[in-house]
Amino acid sequence: MTKGTFPVESFKGLETPFYYYDVNLLKETLSIVKEITHKYGYIQHYAVKANANHRILQIIATAGFGADCVSGNEVKAAINAGFPASKIVFAGVGKTDKEINLALDYNIFCFNVESLPELEVINELAEKKGKTASVAIRINPNVDAHTHEYITTGLNENKFGFSMSSLPKVFAKIKTLKNIELLGIHFHIGSQITEVDTFDPLCERVNELQTQCENEGIILKHINVGGGLGIDYDNPNENPISDFKNYFDLFNSKLELRKGQTLHFELGRAMVAQCGSLVSRVTYVKEGESKKFIILDAGMTDLIRPALYQAYHKIENISSNLPIQQYDVVGPICESSDCFAKDYELNETKRGDFVALRSAGAYGEIMASQYNCRELPKAYLSDSL
Positive/negative CA dihedral, 27, 32, 33, 34 = positive
Smallest gap from residue 153 Cβ to ligand PLP (A)? 6
- Region of 21-29, 165-173, 266-274, 280-288 interacting with ligand PLP (CB under 6 A): 266-274
Between 167 and 267, name the residue whose CB sits nearer to ligand PLP.
267
266 binds ligand PLP (CB under 6 A): yes
Distance CA 325, CA 183 (A): 57
Q: Within positions 115 to 174, which residues make up the interface with ligand PLP, using CB under 6 A? A: 153
Contact 225, 185 (CB under 8 A): no
Distance of CA 368 to the CA centre of its chain: 15
364 binds ligand PLP (CB under 6 A): no
Between 126 and 267, name the residue whose CB sits nearer to ligand PLP.
267
Q: Within positions 203 to 232, which residues make up the interface with ligand PLP, using CB under 6 A? A: 226-229
Between 267 and 275, name the residue whose CB sits nearer to ligand PLP.
267
Name the E strands within the chain. Answer: 18-21, 43-47, 66-69, 88-90, 110-113, 133-140, 162-163, 180-186, 222-224, 262-265, 276-287, 292-296, 315-317, 324-330, 339-347, 354-357, 378-381
Q: Which of 185, 353, 385, 336 is nearest to 285 (CA)?
A: 353
Smallest gap from residue 272 Cβ to ligand PLP (A)? 9
191 binds ligand PLP (CB under 6 A): yes
Q: Which residues pair with 347 in a beta bridge?
A: 324
- Binding string, residues 54-93; x marks residues near ligand PLP by CB under 6 A: --------------x----------------------x--
Q: Which of 95, 188, 305, 314 lies at the binding interface for ligand PLP (CB under 6 A)? A: 188
269 binds ligand PLP (CB under 6 A): yes
Distance CA 288, CA 119 (A): 58
For 356: left if phi > 0, alpha if psi spans -120 to 50, otherwise beta; the answer is beta
Q: Which amino acid is at 384?
A: S
Q: Within positions 29 to 48, which residues make up the interface with ligand PLP, using CB under 6 A? A: 47
Helix and strand totals (H; E) in the chain: 11, 17
- Region of 174-182, 265-273, 307-315, 367-375 interacting with ligand PLP (CB under 6 A): 265-273
Size of the site for ligand PLP (CB under 6 A): 16
Report the residue closest to ligand PLP, judged by CB: 227
Residues that bind ligand PLP in the complex, under the rule CB under 6 A: 47, 50, 68, 91, 153, 188, 191, 226-229, 266-270
